[in-house]
Amino acid sequence: MTAALALDEVERLQARLNAMEQERKHLLAVIEILQEIGGTLQFGDIVQSVARRLGETFGLDRCSIFLAERGGNVRLVASYEDPGIRNYVVDLGRYPELQRAFTTGETVFIADVATDPSLSPARGSLTARRVKSITAIPISWRGSPIGAILLRTFRDGPAFSAADLQFCQVVANLTAKALRNAHRFERLQRQRGETDHLHRREREQAALIGFLRQLLAVYPPALVADEHGDLAVAGSPELERLVGVAQAVLGQEASAR
């Protein structure tokens, strides 16, 4: 084997080792993300965990997660560089790559922000932050984008590879499923609360009806005519008190309706 062939073989093996190491890091990151988002059903915890893990994995300038609302608004719900930013309405006009991801439902990858014409209005700020590439990955559910993950790399950092993009898409899919589970959990909790309230009202009404039946069975007591022929009620004080309570409850029920 000539020296040139030996060198080519070494380079090929080195490239394969680098690829395997990258795959190992991706798998570890996926496991860590699954462990974190699998232990919570809270929207805020899920999106913040994903943003933090992606930011740490790639050493990003920015990793943000956006979610769409039914009314058409888009909110920034998690940020790697500033975890305190949550639930902030954004103008998609300032994020053309994000707008394209929401519109097409496909990943938008800008390899070099310095040459992309759609980013010309923000070129100065991106250059000042030494941003190299921008990736917007839609978070989709049943074919429709419900959010997006926005990632920005540093100019002097490693470039995004095809494997990196595929890994981020896997994370976006996991995020969509976790958010859907959280939504179902919240809906079940809300329905359960409404059902519990309804059952409590039914029990209260049943108890009231039972009380009134007992009350009607013994009231009014014997009526005694006085010397003027008027009728007087010989009711017990306890019975009178219960009648007052019943009347107050019925009054509250009527006003609530």
Least Cα distance to 153 among 110, 99, 92 occurs for 110
Q: How far are the Cα atoms of 225, 234, 240 from residue 228, in angstroms, in the given order? A: 8, 16, 24
Which has the higher per-residue pLDDT, 240 or 176? 176
pLDDT at 255 over 70: no
Least Cα distance to 178 among 51, 43, 54 occurs for 43
Which has the higher per-residue pLDDT, 108 or 25? 108
pLDDT in tens, 193-236: 666 656 666 666 666 666 556 655 655 554 444 444 444 444 45
pLDDT in tens, 109-148: 999 998 999 888 888 888 888 999 999 999 998 888 999 9
Predicted pLDDT at 252: 60
Q: What is the pTM of this model?
A: 0.66
Predicted pLDDT at 246: 62
The domains of the chain, with CATH numbers, are 3-189 (3.30.450.40), 200-256 (no CATH)
pLDDT in tens, 140-182: 988 889 999 999 999 888 888 888 998 999 999 989 888 888 8
Predicted pLDDT at 222: 46
Query: What pLDDT band is residue 251 in, cutting at 50, 70 and 90?
Result: low
pLDDT in tens, 57-113: 888 888 999 999 887 889 999 999 888 888 889 998 889 999 999 999 999 999 999
